[in-house]
Structure 1
Amino acid sequence: MLVTDTSNALPGGSSLLRNEPVQARSSARLAGLLDAAAAVIDEIGFERLTTAMVAERAGASIGTVYRYFPDRIAVVEALAARCTQRLGARFVESIEASGATTWEQGADALVDMTIEMYRTEPGFRAIRFGDVDDGTDAPDSDRMALLGGSVATIFRERFGFPDSARLATAWEVLAEAGHAVLARAHRRRGATDEALITEYRTMTRTYMRTVLAEV
């Protein structure tokens, strides 16, 4: 399953949730809890987040939080999953909107869209995706691998890239590296380090050209 196939809340059957939302009201309540967690994380970072803070910000009882999440780590992990899902869902949109005709332009469009996520998606800037893990081998637990597979599919269909496990792995590597570099470039709100972003664009093109020459 591609990241682009998942919902904006959490995928059905996710191991992150104690109880799956089965009605629209329950889904809205879950989304509200994640929105509240994102707002708090933007303010103080995910290390200091507590379930009580999530409940207070969402205007919900602590019991409502525990209905879905066993602890604060599960909240952070679920928010990271949602952010990654939204990122993947916007990959296709960003390439279509850019009018890219070459894979290099497509890669730049993905970088631009990811930068926009850092600037506008609540909680995205503060979460370090590699630091939270639900401890399972569920299909949706390796988010960077899912992102890599999504991008590999998009570039195969849009730009004629070969169907290659090596390319999927390469995109996963770029997703991991991109998160590290772009998170650092946005570590201070309103003061983006454009030099780091420029170097990441160069690295993406150079690395992908090398991989393409070998597959």
Structure 2
Amino acid sequence: MLDACAELLDEVGYDGLSTTRIAERADVAIGSVYQFFPDKRAISQALTRRNVELFVARVGRRFISEEYGGWWDAVDAIIDEYVEMHRSVPGFKSLRFGDAVDLNLLDAGTDNNTVIAGRLRGLLLKEFGMADSERLDTSILVAVEGGDAVLKLAFRRDPDGDPEIIAEAKTLVRSYLSRQLRDFNASASRAAPGARSGS
């Protein structure tokens, strides 16, 4: 049913989606759809969650299988996975991480990009040993919001993503996070015991 929903989203969009169409495409009785999903929003929500899990898994696999010079290369890999999913995963370009339907589709109390930022934060903390802090949380959220906005522009300009704009998205996110982490590390050094005495 989720696969059928994804295919239909690409063909008719969210407005043209219906539980009846999903049942017909999945070749199941409409009652089978309602057994799991009360309406098209619920099935779109389930598909969005699957997209998030797939995205995080794909990024995680890249982190394991590829060598990075630092977190900045990981940022490029994260953006590359988003772009590849937009191009190749059915339903993703229509739904992305749910923002095309509802900014709170993933979690009623938290907007979708905050959920995504939290997942990416976990990956970066695990792989690159960044110091956990509220400031890091805010910085990653702002980077996700900024990168997301520029990537949307890339796909508005070109259905496959304008390469120049995608490159600019990488530059934007890397530059912003570099400055934030540099400022954070400088503040941490000044606050450390003995920092003024040079010990």
RMSD: 2.3
Which deviates more from structure 2 when the two are superposed, residues 92-101 or residues 204-213?
A: 92-101
User: What is the match of residue 78 of structure 2?
Assistant: 110
Counterpart of 2:74, as a letter, is G
| CA positional deviation for 1:157 | 2.7
TM-score (norm 1): 0.75
Describe the shift of the 1:78–1:187 C-alpha distance in structure 2 as closer, same or farther (beyond 3 A). Answer: farther
CA distance in 2, matches of 1:192, 1:80: 21
Identity %: 34
User: Unmatched 5+ residue regions in structure 2?
Assistant: 185-199
More displaced 10-residue stretch of structure 1: 33-42 or 152-161: 152-161
Aligned residues: 181
Paired letter, 1:208: L
In structure 2, distance between residues paired with 1:90 and 1:153: 14
Give yes or no for the alignment of 1:195 onto 2:164: yes
Q: Does 1:41 align with 2:9?
A: yes
Given that 1:94 and 1:113 are in contact with CA atoms closer than 8 Å, whether structure 2 keeps it comes out as no
Of the two structures, which has the highest relative contact order with CA contacts closer than 8 Å and spacing of 6 or more?
1
Q: Which amino acid in structure 1 is aligned with residue 58 of structure 2? A: R
Given the superposition, is the C-alpha separation of residues 186 and 136 from structure 1 closer, same or farther in structure 2, using an over 3 Å criterion? closer
Map of 1:19 onto structure 2 = none
Higher helix fraction (1 or 2): 2
User: Once the two structures are superposed, what CA deviation does each residue of 1:128-175 show, in whole Å capped at 9, x if it has no partner?
Assistant: 52232459647xx65433322222222223223111122123222333
Corresponding residue for residue 194 of structure 2 = none
Stretches of structure 1 that go unaligned for 5 or more consecutive residues are: 1-32
- Confirm or deny that 1:163 pairs with 2:132: yes
- CA offset digits 1:9-54 (Å, max 9, x no partner): xxxxxxxxxxxxxxxxxxxxxxxx1110000001121121111110
Q: Secondary structure at the match of 2:32?
A: helix
1:61-94 deviation line (CA, Å, top 9, x unaligned)? 1111111111111122221121112112222112
Work out which of the two has the higher radius of gyration on C-alpha atoms and give 1 or 2. 2
Separation of aligned partners in 1, 2:132 and 2:15: 40
